Structure 1
Amino acid sequence: MARASLWASVSPGSYSSNTEKMENIHDGDGTPSSSHQTVKGTAKWATSLENLLEDPEGIKRFREFLKKEFSEENVLFWLACEDFKKIQDKKQMQEKAKDIYMTFLSSKASSQVNVEGQSRLNEKILEEPHPLMFQKLQDQIFNLMKYDSYSRFLKSDLFLKHKRTEEEEEDASDSQTVAKRASRIYNT
């Protein structure tokens, strides 16, 4: 599964409670999507949170929504954990583990997430990191998003407006295709 690599695009120390710095996290791979791909987007997003989180445009829209709900840190934490799992180098893993802890989990975190058991995760564990060290906490945040924020997102004006725009673009594209076919038939 290809997931958006958001965490890797953030330089160490660039996360803080400052909204401007949170904007440094990029929403995807930077390649523009055609309207045809985007149309599939909202329909696919509506099938599962997993599908939404696999699409850079879906992540971007979900982040916009969560920002309005003052809970963007949840998806940022989840994405950070996904990227953390991919790190092979032990030193990089230690640095990222500390960044994740300081940004999302410590009592002084700038974008603290609300997870059970976070007090049991102390800085000592950061000395010997492993790819799945945040898994339980990541699962808690995923479930929180899935059973809370995600359902509200699908009913939100932001999602519904994006869906309507896609449908209108698809209808316009279909009309043009029909006109082109008709033109070819009559001009032959």
Structure 2
Amino acid sequence: MCRALENLPTTCLERAKELKTRFGNFLLKQELNIMGHSKKNTKLTLEDRQKWTQSFHELLLHNDGLCAFTAFLSSEYSEENIAFYLACEDYRNTKTSSKLCSKARKIYEEFVCSDAPREVNLDHETKTSTLNNMEQPTLSCFNLAQSKIYTLMEKDCYPRFLKSTVYQELITQHVG
């Protein structure tokens, strides 16, 4: 990613075209892996792409939908939201209690605490509640924070994604 940032075009129009190209190329890769969400060799159909408009949940259930939405958030410089959501999903699936504490601390330090490198937009009460949960981490210690970020993406980012040029082109593009 850092290498890509070094060669950014100078004008907004060139930047938009580059993002559109990268977004499209990203979706066409046969093997995708976003935090354990891997895609088998299946073709993306128009029906799949249209399901994404039914609900935000439906979009996230489909690996290509998740990938497209992640790329969209990256183009808006807000990919920390989906990264946090997926980190919480991964955390909730932790099988051994010995890993809970270290995973919880990592998520908290990366996304929740003030001045975190990828800080998500949470209100003071949610941050305080999450910090209190960190004293004895359980599988549900991030539930409130994750729910807030999910709602933020569903109500704010998801409608913009559906209206985006790139998504509209995905709908009209012949794939499969």
TM-score between both structures, scaled by the size of structure 2: 0.74
Rounded to whole Å, the distance in 2 between the matches of 1:139 and 1:156 is 24
| Pairing 1:64–2:55 present | no
SS for the counterpart of 2:33 is coil
- Cα deviations across residues 84-136 of structure 1 (Å, max 9, x unaligned)? 11112112111111111011001131100001124414656434211111111
| Pairing 1:144–2:152 present | yes
User: Structure 2 unaligned runs (5+)?
Assistant: 4-31
Query: Any conservation in 2 of the 1:105–1:118 contact (CA below 8 Å)?
Result: no
Query: Any conservation in 2 of the 1:74–1:141 contact (CA below 8 Å)?
Result: yes
Q: 1:94 to 1:19 in 2, by over 3 A?
A: farther
Determine the structure 2 residue equivalent to 1:33.
42
Rounded to whole Å, the distance in 1 between the matches of 2:150 and 2:170 is 23
In the alignment, which of 108, 112, 119 is matched to residue 101 of structure 1? 108
Between Structure 1 and Structure 2, how many residues are aligned?
145
- Cα deviations across residues 68-87 of structure 1 (Å, max 9, x unaligned)? 11111111111111111111
| Pairing 1:113–2:127 present | no
Q: CA deviation at 1:148?
A: 0.5
Determine the structure 1 residue equivalent to 2:19.
none
The one-letter amino acid of 1:106's match is C
**Would you identify which runs of 4 or more consecutive aligned residues in structure 1 move more than 3 Å?**
121-125
Determine the structure 1 residue equivalent to 2:23.
none
Query: Any conservation in 1 of the 2:130–2:142 contact (CA below 8 Å)?
Result: no
**Larger Rg, first or second structure (1 or 2):** 1
Q: CA deviation at 1:44?
A: 1.0
Rounded to whole Å, the distance in 1 between the matches of 2:48 and 2:118 is 28
SS for the counterpart of 1:133 is coil
TM-score between both structures, scaled by the size of structure 1: 0.70
Rounded to whole Å, the distance in 2 between the matches of 1:152 and 1:82 is 24
Percent identity between the two aligned chains: 30
CA RMSD of aligned residues (A): 2.1
